[in-house]
Amino acid sequence: MSLHTESFTLGVEEEYQIIDPVTRELSSTVSLILPQAQMTLGDAVQYEMILSQIEIATPVCHTLSEVRAELSRLRYGVITAAHDAGKLIGAAGTHPFSQWSEQTVTPKPRYEDLIAMYQQPVREQIIFGCHVHVGIPDRDVATQVLNHARVWLAPLLALTSNSPFWQGKDTGYANYRNCLWWSVPLSGPPPCFTSYNTYRMMIKELVDTGTIEDATRIYWDLRLSEQHPTIEFRVMDVCQTLNETVAIAGLIRAIVRKCYRDVMERKAPLPISQEMLRAAHWRAARYGLEGDLIDVHHTSSIAAHQLIIAMLEFLRPDLEAEDDWHLVSNTIHTLLTEGNGARKQRDIYKQTGNLNDVVDAFVAETGRL
């Protein structure tokens, strides 16, 4: 099987907060915003699990320029519709102080069934993520790519960490969204599978035992999409800035491209335990870019900046093959210098001591198109 640029299409989903401009709290008013947003954006904008949340999804994109153009169009459309309804739109993995107990679940069977099944852990899932899809139509190959790609999830989590505050407190985590999400069954890094058939057999067992209703209830940080011929990366907080999201999409495509090449060359995936993967995720969620992360390739601790730079250099041939190197590397270096979303939120709070100012700051960044 040959390697073609056309094989690695991209799609990005982002979940945004709907915010009251006076209180800066989450506002359960998606029904005021969605109809107008859909008039200009169509089905690219949708409900999500709570009424203070709205989701966008790009069409299939072939270049990062297309990703940027589509995300800019979608962000602008949602922000404009919210403005007309007297609301704001913000991109952060958690809201700094709104209470989970005051949020209203979207009255749709899928979400109501989730609450009925998982109860309290799902009620507290007031979180906002970014999902990136990369096209690989061959499901057998895509399964093997999962096995190789899962070792890169923790650095992606660290880079995009944007949820340090929860219920009015600094959690001590750069990515508290990850902590909340891991309370849901079948979340976290995926296991390793010998084949796509093994993947389907495991899902069948879960369905047959009543553990899940269908394959879409698999919530790993990396999975095969059931709706699209893609691999779906789900580990990221929604990024504050458009630049960050575009760069992360390019970085993820390079990861998939490199892993695809390894599969074609019949290289074995890194033999790493599920426990070590989870430890790497925990470290990334705890410290983001501010401390040491786990280098799973060498089973050692390493400064976050060193690990990210090493990852960039490792992926450079695949970034250059897509003509993405300069855009991605420049944005990642800026992140390492200026800090990710978590660092920026904490810096604002340190300066003013007011979480309203934190909300104002990430709302402003969200709208910087």
pTM of the full predicted structure?
A: 0.96
pLDDT the model gives residue 118:
87
- pLDDT tens over the chain, length 369 residues: 344 444 799 999 999 999 999 999 999 999 999 999 999 999 999 999 999 999 999 999 999 999 999 999 999 999 999 999 999 999 999 999 999 999 999 998 888 888 888 899 889 999 999 999 999 999 999 999 999 999 999 999 999 999 999 999 999 999 999 999 988 888 899 999 999 999 999 999 999 998 888 888 889 999 999 999 999 999 999 999 999 999 999 999 999 999 999 999 999 999 999 999 999 999 999 999 999 999 999 999 999 999 999 999 999 999 999 999 999 999 999 999 999 999 999 999 999 999 999 999 999 999 998
Dihedral of CA 38/40/44/48: which sign? negative
**Cα angle 170, 173, 176; round to 5:** 90
Phi, psi of 298 (to 5 degrees): -120, 5
Number of helices followed by number of strands (H, E) in the chain: 14, 13
pLDDT at position 183 is 84
DSSP summary character for residue 54: E
3-state secondary structure of 59: coil
Q: Rounded to an integer, what distance in angstroms lies between the CA atom of residue 280 and that of residue 155?
A: 9
Q: What is the pLDDT of residue 1?
A: 39
DSSP string, 100-169: GGG--B-S-HHHHHHHHHH-HHHHT----EEEEEEE---HHHHHHHHHHHGGGHHHHHHHH--B-EETTE
- Residue type present at position 211: T
Dist CA 136 CA 147 (whole Å): 14
Query: What is the CATH topology of the domain spanning 5-366?
Result: Creatine Kinase; Chain A, domain 2 (3.30.590)
pLDDT for 105 = 92
In contact, 261 and 3? CB cutoff 8 Å: yes
Nearest to 341 by CA among 186, 192, 157: 157
Helix (H, G, I), strand (E, B) or coil at 343: helix
String of b and e for 329-363 (b: at least 16 CB within 10 Å)?
bebbeebbeebbbbbbbbebbeeeeebeebbbbbb
